[in-house]
Chains A and B, each alone.
Chain A
Amino acid sequence: GESVGLHLPTLSVQEGDNSIINCAYSNSASDYFIWYKQESGKGPQFIIDIRSNMDKRQGQRVTVLLNKTVKHLSLQIAATQPGDSAVYFCAENFAGNQFYFGTGTSLTVIP
């Protein structure tokens, strides 16, 4: 069977609270970043993206912040709902067409 996996960082929040998920990326040359949501047994689903010429981008209930100085991304989810429970990954892209994923965070929303 599969090898034992690493334990993902976890975050538990109350329904209705705001969530902040963080990600450190690896390559200072990365110029395009994406946040993905992955529910159990499914493929990653696009949430929001940001290019390196921006510091902040807002979507519906989600905001992504980019700090290139410290190579850090965050995803803020407003008024978190039970349907937001999933694993969240950031992905970075530089030079070629490859997307490389960060470690991921498991979000649990408590009703």
Chain B
Amino acid sequence: DAMVIQNPRYQVTQFGKPVTLSCSQTLNHNVMYWYQQKSSQAPKLLFHYYDKDFNNEADTPDNFQSRRPNTSFCFLDIRSPGLGDAAMYLCATSRGRRTLNTEAFFGQGTRLTVV
């Protein structure tokens, strides 16, 4: 059974039109992450939540925002998508360092196309 679920798997959006990507987890993990992965590149961390505490990476553009309304759900909002934002967006979860730190579990990703 899928433990980190991303919807939709494929998303097409118009240049400049706000778009939201969704992630849910059944693991009850404290930490939820959003990564951006472009073709033939490593996943790049955008931000993460530890419970309700939001942690932004220094080089994440302001165009990217996130919300975590509860333990199970986390959203990635792209306020004004540009062509350069076309990528695979990966959601992941982990228990976090305050408990015994374990690996991050990834969803299958959402492939975002900007037209």
Which residues of A pack against B, CB within 8 Å? 1-8, 32, 34, 36, 41-46, 49, 89, 91, 93, 96-104
Q: Who on chain A is nearest to B4 by CB? A: A43
- Chain B residues within 8 Å of A, Cβ to Cβ: 4, 31, 33, 35, 38-45, 48, 50, 55, 57, 83-84, 86-87, 90, 92, 94, 96-97, 101-109, 111, 113-114
Pick the contact of B94 from A4, A36, A42, A97 — CB < 8 Å? A97
* Docked-complex contact A101 and B101, CB < 8 angstroms: no
* A2 adjacent to B108 (CB under 8 Å): no
Which residue on chain A has the smallest CB distance to residue B32? A97
Residue from A3, A34, A42, A96 within 8 A of B104 (CB atoms) = A34
Q: Considering only CB atoms, which chain B residue lies closest to A45 in the complex?
A: B106
Q: How far is the CA of A110 from the CA of B45 in the complex (A)?
A: 33
Q: Report 22 cross-chain contacts, Cβ distance below 8 Å, ordered by A residue.
A: A1-B83, A2-B38, A2-B84, A2-B86, A2-B87, A3-B38, A4-B39, A8-B40, A32-B101, A36-B106, A41-B109, A43-B109, A44-B106, A46-B105, A96-B97, A97-B50, A97-B97, A98-B33, A98-B45, A98-B48, A99-B45, A100-B45
Q: How far is the CA of A88 from the CA of B80 in the complex (A)?
A: 32
Q: Which residues in A have their C-beta under 8 angstroms from that of B87? A: 2
